[in-house]
Amino acid sequence: MAPRKKSDRLTIDKLLKKAEEAKKTGLALTRIAVEQAELSGRQLSKEGRKKIDESIAATKKKFSSGEADLAMLEKLGKLRKAGVITEKEFQTKKKEILKRI
């Protein structure tokens, strides 16, 4: 086998150096991509939890509001029977409450 020329050796060294630099750059870019993916994942998870919490709160409000409306109807019925409010007042309020339920 013929000995390599000095210029061939320099070219090989340059190529090896560029390959090593490319490897380092690739690793750095991979780390950046992983960090960004983790950040995006955390943000999406946080937004998802927020939406779920909002939905739960809205559902609780709706159902607790319905329960409160039914309790109000019962109270109005008692007030009507006791003569504190008239039948017309009771019916007006009853219609308002039933529209919400």
CA end-to-end distance (rounded Å), the chain: 94
Residue range 58-74, pLDDT digits in tens: 877 776 677 888 899 99
The answer to whether position 1 is within a domain reads no
For residue 67, which amino acid is it?
E
Of 75 and 100, the one with more pLDDT: 75
Does position 1 have pLDDT exceeding 70, yes or no?
Answer: no
- Give the number of C-alpha atoms closer than 13 A to the C-alpha of residue 44, restricted to the C-beta side: 6
The answer to whether position 18 is within a domain reads yes
Number of domains in the chain: 1
Query: Residue 17 sits in which domain range?
Result: 6-100
pLDDT number for residue 59: 78
- pTM of the predicted model as reported, rounded to 2 decimal places: 0.44
